[in-house]
């Protein structure tokens, strides 16, 4: 399953011209979602089954391991090129686009605070 899926996603990494996009920090997510999309069959579970009534995906790290901003949008756009028929992938992209202005503003505020701290 993994080898077949890797071949699929390698083909989506081609950018026009001689360039390829290599998702260094989100390849695990890209591969996991691509496996789910490639081998999707209604009412069949690949992996583990989450409790009903719905699946919940959350990252809850202990305080000593804070969550870092991992930007998945580019990986999800690669998936969209291959699996545009799945609304779930569209929803992931729209969610990231919705959060993008807030994330940019937060990073700008952090940078501004760091500059002010250096000046003190």
**Per-residue confidence (pLDDT) for residue 53, from 0 to 100:** 57
The C-alpha angle with vertex 79 and arms to 77 and 82, in degrees rounded to 5, equals: 115
What's the whole-model pTM score?
0.62
Residue 53 has what DSSP assignment?
S
Write the pLDDT tens digit of every residue in 71-93: 678 888 888 888 889 888 898 88
Q: What is the pLDDT of residue 68?
A: 63
Residue 57 pLDDT exceeds 60? no
pLDDT band at 56 (very low <50, low <70, confident <90, very high): low
Position 49 confidence tier, pLDDT thresholds 50, 70, 90: low
- Residue among 54, 10, 59 at smallest CA distance from 34: 10
What pLDDT score does 47 carry? 63
Domain range for 69 is: 2-119
* Count of domains observed in the chain: 1
Q: What pLDDT, on the 0 to 100 scale, is given for residue 26? A: 76
Specify the range with the lowest mean pLDDT, choosing from 15-19, 61-65, 74-78.
61-65
């Amino acid at each position: 399953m993994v080898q077949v899926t890797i071949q699929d996603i390698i083909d989506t990494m081609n950018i026009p011209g001689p360039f390829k996009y290599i998702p260094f920090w989100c390849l695990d997510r890209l591969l996991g979602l691509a496996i789910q999309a490639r081998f999707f069959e209604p009412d069949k579970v690949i992996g583990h089954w989450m409790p009903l009534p719905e699946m919940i995906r959350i990252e809850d790290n202990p305080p000593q391991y804070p969550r870092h901003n991992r930007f998945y949008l580019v990986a999800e756009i690669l998936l969209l090129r291959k699996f545009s028929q799945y609304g779930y992938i569209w929803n992931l992209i729209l969610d990231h686009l919705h959060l993008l202005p807030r994330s940019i503003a937060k990073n700008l505020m952090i940078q501004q605070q760091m500059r002010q701290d250096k000046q003190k």
